[in-house]
Amino acid sequence: MAPAGGPGAKKGILERLESGEVVVGDGSFLLTLEKRGYVKAGLWTPEAVVDHPDAVRQLHTEFLRAGSNVMQTFTFSASEDNMESKWEAVNEAACDLAREVAGKGDALVAGGICQTSLYRHHKDEVRVKKLFQLQLEVFIKKNVDFLIAEYFEHAEEAVWAVEVLKESGKPVAATMCIGPDGDMHGVTPGECAVKLVKAGAAIVGVNCRFGPSTSLKTMRLMKEGLRAAGLKAHLIVQSLGFHTPDCGKGGFVDLPEYPFGLEPRVATRWDIQKYAREAYNLGVRYIGGCCGFEPYHIRAIAEELAPERGFLPPASDKHGSWGSSLNMHTKPWIRARARREYWENLLPASGRPFCPSLSRPDN
């Protein structure tokens, strides 16, 4: 199967999903740009779109080349309460960068908002909604293709976000950063999904905080909740690029390795191919990643689902399927690894003989 050619006529997000098309999301920005020296850990705010636009543009481009259909604006935590006077310039620059790169392929631009610091301290609906409204005004001005309310640990605040975003008339996706135990107020995943759909979200699911296998468990519960309520919605999953089976309810942020010692937990490309296939079999058609999800992970999704999509991403031109490029190696034991069975059954070692395989969360 040859890599895809140039961009074609762009269909909207709902048109794609309603036709059964697989939409491949993008991946990690905050953690990846922190490692590259462009984001500071702590507040995790995205000033890089103004201070280092080339770095953000490059990462968008890598995800596009790897197969992403969506360029999500790098506007995580870019609300007025986190960025004060800089918030508007950051949101505008993020939209411009995403649009610029999306125009080089068959990708849509998604304007993204996330949970606020204000909600955790005051739970003031009017003030929280005002913060969302300010970002939405920029997204409308920049004419993004659709909107994503992501990374919400409380269903109530996520519902508020959806209620604001749907006023734009653009399609709205909403993702919670929860695991199978539900949100921080005890709302189950199924109940969260129902609340989001009733609020107006057309696409619902989870992102961040948990690894691939845990995220898919949560997606099953969301799907069951929607079915039981007689509701329909498109499903989205954008998990971590890390294995986190030892997480508590708060997810990977409570692990002692967060955020600077997570590298031993990184999923392999083969782990992500399995994640993509399981998500697809579950009925999820918008599949991407979040923190720790590098461009080669996105390529793994695109390659695993190439039979369904009908093409490979441009980055596959430099990647042999299931290690097939190793066939030309001079050493026979390495040539023997050029097969799917080898990589599917590999149990990778960490190379750290005195380290545990699991950790105890701090909270």
Task: Tell me how far apart the alpha carbons of residues 143 and 310 are, in angstroms, rounded to a whole number.
Answer: 29
| Lookup: tokens for 225 | 């909740």
3-state secondary structure of 269: helix
Distance of alpha carbon 48 from alpha carbon 153, whole angstroms: 25
Q: In what order do the strands lie in the sheet containing 286-289? A: 23-24, 286-289, 234-239, 203-207, 172-176, 146-152, 108-114, 70-72
Report CA-CA distances (Å) from 96 to 45, 49, 54, 90, 142: 17, 9, 12, 10, 8
Alpha-carbon torsion (131, 132, 137, 139), positive or negative: positive
Q: How far is the C-alpha of 340 from the C-alpha of 349, rounded, in Å? A: 19
Looking at this protein, which amino acid is placed at residue 91?
Answer: N
The answer to whether the CB of 173 falls within 8 A of the CB of 147 is yes
290 is in an annotated binding site: yes
- CA distances 84 to 49, 50, 80, Å, are 16, 15, 5
Q: Is 114 annotated as a binding residue?
A: no
Binding-site residue positions for Zn(2+): 208, 290-291
Annotated binding site: 208, 290-291
